[in-house]
Amino acid sequence: MLNSISLVSFFVLGVIGWITYKIFIWPFYISPMRKIPGPPSESLLHGNLKTIMSEEAGVPHIRWVKKYGKIIKFYGMFNKPNLFIADAKLLQEITLNRAYDFVKPLNAAGLSLIGRGLVYAEGGDHKRQRKMANPAFTHNNVKEMVPSIVRVASTLKGSIEDEINSGETNINFTPYISKAALDIIGLVGFNYEFNSLTSPSELAIAYDSIFNSPVTPLRIALNLLSNYVPWIRKLPLEANIRFKNACAVTDRVSKRLVEERFKEAKNGELKEKDLLSLLININNTLPVEEKMTDEELKYQIMTFLFAGHETTAISTGWALYSLAQNPHAQDLLREELVKAFPDKSKFNPTYDEINSLEYLNCVVKETLRINTPAIYIRRVNIKDEVLGNYFIPKDTEITLGILALHKSPEIWGPTAENFDPKRWLDPSLTNNLTNLNYIPFSTGPKNCIGSKVALTEFKILLSILVRNFVFRPIEGFNIRKRAFPAPKAFPYLGLAVSIVES
């Protein structure tokens, strides 16, 4: 009996000692990263993560860069040292030169929602999936998507007009833009009519429950802890139930879409130009070792649904907000649109027409600079590295600060924090920009494969809205950019709207 008690005592003491070492001793006195400058830990449990999650998205990172430099150590869960980098040369090394030596860290929530498609695949799997998917995103294929995008944009315009005609002038644009983006990805991604703008959609409801529901400390904690303690997602909590239901809907819809297209392909009827049809047709021509599995094709759909609608919705929303805050810029854009499309009832641009609008291009680029949908990207080094003269042990989580680069005065001058589309007409600035200091879609072999689709969708949605409506801030209504789960307008994108007369 005594021996059993002694063994249990030694075990408990060992666990306490190990925890003490990992949380109290190793991060501050032994870790090779301890001499890297950065903010002090604020908590034994969450390090500096509470500050990152609770403040406006990206603000802590920018503050740290000003105080500590471009290479910063901060503390993650259980005081684990993390690295933050806002240096273009190091970013090139990590994302471009040696992209497969730096993998994406475990994200249990992300994997549950979109699976191991292009976003989370690594190594040979990623190379194979990327090679197979690239032909679906050619210039010509994107051009053929424009009529579908215009059709949904016109439905969105009609929905806003209905609100105004019913007497509403202060409108919550968050659900409208999100549903429009979902309807667009349904058409261009899978030739499928979600019709979420005009009728209830289980997929729209599922995404709304993830991205627009209240953000509580418990919800953030569950998201972070699930990476370390997977069973925590099985607890019968409301946040877990909501997340589980959303994942189930996404999985079920994706599986159904794949099965429907496979059935058409077997009957020789798969002649559409949506992304899924293109992927299946391409897949059927490849040797076995280069093909995607049925499961991987489902993951691509889950990825397109998530990344293809939420990022565009975020960008379009912030563009409207910035134009409402800067009426002169909004007037300039509308002047260009009126000249290009004199009869607003016949808004039906081609791909080339929408991309020929110079000031629209400036507004889009500036929005993606200061309100990029991905304010940072995260990586983990699979072996020991030396970065910026600092030794970085393998398995260190590394955050690459996209927004910090996009707001760097060294690159963008003293007005780096300001929304100024005209800066993109200045050759002294644009001649010094590269795919390493302006990276709204990341860079290298793991960059966003759908960037051309996203930009086309963004431009068309923004064009039809600004051509038809005037946007102003709602007096007394303040909007901030929340950090979790995505950099969206909080509490929602509310704007005062009026119709542009013919």
Contacts 24+ apart (CB under 8 A), 423-432: 423/362, 423/366, 424/361, 424/362, 424/365, 424/366, 425/358, 425/362
Q: Does some domain include residue 251?
A: yes
Q: Does some domain include residue 8?
A: no
The whole domain housing 347 covers 31-499
Q: Does some domain include residue 46?
A: yes
22-32: string of b/e by CB count within 10 Å (b at 16+)? ebeeebeeebe
Q: Which two tokens stand for residue 87?
A: 């240096």
Residues 338-377: tens digit of each pLDDT: 999 999 888 999 999 999 999 999 999 999 999 999 999 9
The verdict on whether residue 448 carries a ligand-binding annotation is yes
Q: Does some domain include residue 14?
A: no
Q: Does some domain include residue 15?
A: no
Q: Which two tokens stand for residue 500?
A: 């542009």
Residues 117-136: tens digit of each pLDDT: 888 999 999 999 999 999 88
CA 406/CA 318 separation, integer angstroms: 15
pLDDT, position 3: 67
269-290: string of b/e by CB count within 10 Å (b at 16+)? ebeebbbbbbbbbbbeeeeeee
pLDDT, position 231: 81
CATH number at residue 198: 1.10.630.10
How much of the chain is in helix, strand and coil states, percent to nearest 5?
A: 60, 10, 30
CA 117/CA 296 separation, integer angstroms: 6
Coil, helix or strand for 348? coil
pLDDT, position 502: 67
Rg of the Cα trace of the chain? 24
Domains held by the chain: number:
1
Tens of pLDDT along the chain (502 residues) come to: 446 667 667 666 776 777 777 888 888 888 999 999 999 999 888 899 989 988 898 999 999 999 999 999 999 988 999 999 999 999 999 999 999 999 999 888 888 888 888 889 999 999 999 999 998 899 999 999 999 999 999 999 999 999 999 999 999 999 999 999 999 998 998 888 888 999 888 888 887 877 777 777 777 777 877 887 788 888 888 888 888 888 888 888 888 888 888 888 877 767 778 888 888 888 888 888 888 888 888 888 888 888 777 889 999 999 999 999 999 999 999 999 999 999 988 899 999 999 999 999 999 999 999 999 999 999 999 999 999 999 999 999 999 999 999 999 999 999 999 999 999 999 999 998 888 899 999 999 999 999 999 999 999 999 999 999 999 999 999 999 988 778 889 899 999 999 998 6
Q: Does some domain include residue 423?
A: yes
Q: Does some domain include residue 212?
A: yes
CA 184/CA 316 separation, integer angstroms: 13
Q: Does some domain include residue 20?
A: no
